[in-house]
Amino acid sequence: MKTANYLFIVVFLLTSCVSEAQKDGEKSENKTYEVQNTNQEWKKELSQMEYYVLRKAGTEPAHSSPLNDINEPGTFVCAACGNELYETKHKFDSGTGWPSFDRAIEGSLDLGEDHKLGYKRDEAMCGKCGGHLGHIFNDGPRATTGMRHCINGTALKFVPEK
């Protein structure tokens, strides 16, 4: 077989794997979440933007979320399933334009890896429904955890403390 043909087949196989991995709703392979919806059901329950962020791992525009400005005590829950994810006391202003936290509520997240930008990023997902929330970086506040959970406000709803 000619090298060119062989290369063509290799490239074809590689690209077909990529499109396979990006299929709708395939957030965490073979993982069973407590909240299981079909894509059709999620589309009905979520707004277009929520669906794009939570189910298609999209990113909202920086500085677009009203949750950026919330500093009052309370809990940030998953916009899709209500799972309690973050608390105001762990929120900080990262200057990025996305709600940022130095830690999540223990056991609330599912962690994954995202290679979409050509390098590895740690992906934060809701542990109950698998919805994409954002990414976790290690350039957070040094005085506390050193971690920065960079989260789409679209993926969250704020519940003020009573």
The nearer residue to Fe ion, 49 or 141, going by C-beta atoms, is 49
Q: Which residues contact 113 (CB under 8 A, 6 or more apart)?
A: 120, 121, 122, 123
* Positions 80 through 109 that interact with Fe ion (CB under 5 A): 80-81, 83
| SS3 (DSSP) at 101 | strand
Closest CA relative to residue 28, chosen from 114, 138, 86, 107: 114
Instruction: Let me know if 126 is a catalytic residue.
Output: no
Least Cβ distance, residue 4 to Fe ion (angstroms): 48
The span of 21-29, 65-73, 79-87, 116-124 binding Fe ion (CB under 5 A) equals 79-87
Least Cβ distance, residue 33 to Fe ion (angstroms): 8
Least Cβ distance, residue 31 to Fe ion (angstroms): 13
The Cα–Cα gap between 18 and 24 comes to: 13
The Cα–Cα gap between 90 and 105 comes to: 9
Task: Work out the number of other CB atoms within 10 angstroms of the CB of residue 43.
Answer: 14
The nearer residue to Fe ion, 46 or 129, going by C-beta atoms, is 129
Q: Which residues bind Fe ion (CB under 5 A)?
A: 78, 80-81, 83, 126, 128-129, 131
Active site residues: 150
